[in-house]
Structure formats: C-alpha cells, structure tokens
Amino acid sequence: MQLDRGEPLQPGEWLGGASGGPAVQVEAAPETLLRVRAQAPLDLLQAAYHLGNRHVALEVRSTELRLLEDPVLADLLARRGLLVDRLQEPFRPEAGAYGSVHRHG
C-alpha cells in the first residue's frame, strides 16, 4: 500500500488498496508514557504551562496529562509535588496550535 505524505494516520481509520485488496484498520502501538496527576486542578494547569513552555507534546485529559517518558521531566514534575507514574498505552497528543483535524476518506 503506497500512501501520500501528509497528515498522520489516526487510530480507527480504515485504509483500502486501490486494487480492491483487503482493508486495514490503523491501530496505535503502546508506548511508555508518563501520567501526571495532581491534588489540585491549579497544580495540573501549572504543569501543563511549564511543559508547554518546553514544547513537550502532551495528551491532555480532564484529570491528568500524558507525555512520552522522559526522566528529566519526570523528576521536574515530581519535585513540583505532582503524582507521576509510568504506563504503556498509545499516545494521542494534542495537535497543537498549527495542527488540524483531518480525516482520511
């Protein structure tokens, strides 16, 4: 299957060959992530601010942040009193200010 360059594929999308071959569903691979939680919402917002200043790709959830594992950032966040643990899951970061929502046909 030959794909044009462009937007990244999204989990759940279906791809089919032009020759009518079998369809393939995109699946995200698990990665080692840091999950960041806080006792207070303001602490989590401050963490997002500081990570954003470092241009760190973030997956933002209502009660936690997720980022690719980085021991330096894990230490920084833990020293700020945040709860940091590791997990293996697909990473779905925010597109960012210049990203766009795109769906393949």
pLDDT at 90: 95
Alpha-carbon distance of 13 to 16, in angstroms, equals 10
pLDDT at 102: 44
Sequential pLDDT tens for the chain (105 residues): 677 787 778 888 888 866 777 888 899 899 999 999 999 999 999 999 999 999 999 999 999 999 999 999 999 999 999 999 999 999 999 887 656 544 444
pLDDT at 6: 79
The dihedral region occupied by 95, where left means phi > 0, alpha psi between -120 and 50, and beta the remainder, is alpha
Cβ neighbors of 85 (< 8 A, separation 6 or more) are 34, 35
Beta bridge partners of 31: 89
Alpha-carbon distance of 65 to 34, in angstroms, equals 8
Domain boundaries, the chain: 31-89
User: In 1-105, at which residue ranges do the beta strands (DSSP E only) sit?
Assistant: 14-15, 24-25, 31-37, 59-60, 65-68, 83-89
Alpha-carbon distance of 88 to 62, in angstroms, equals 19
pLDDT at 1: 66
pLDDT at 103: 45
Domain 31-89 has CATH 3.30.70.790: yes
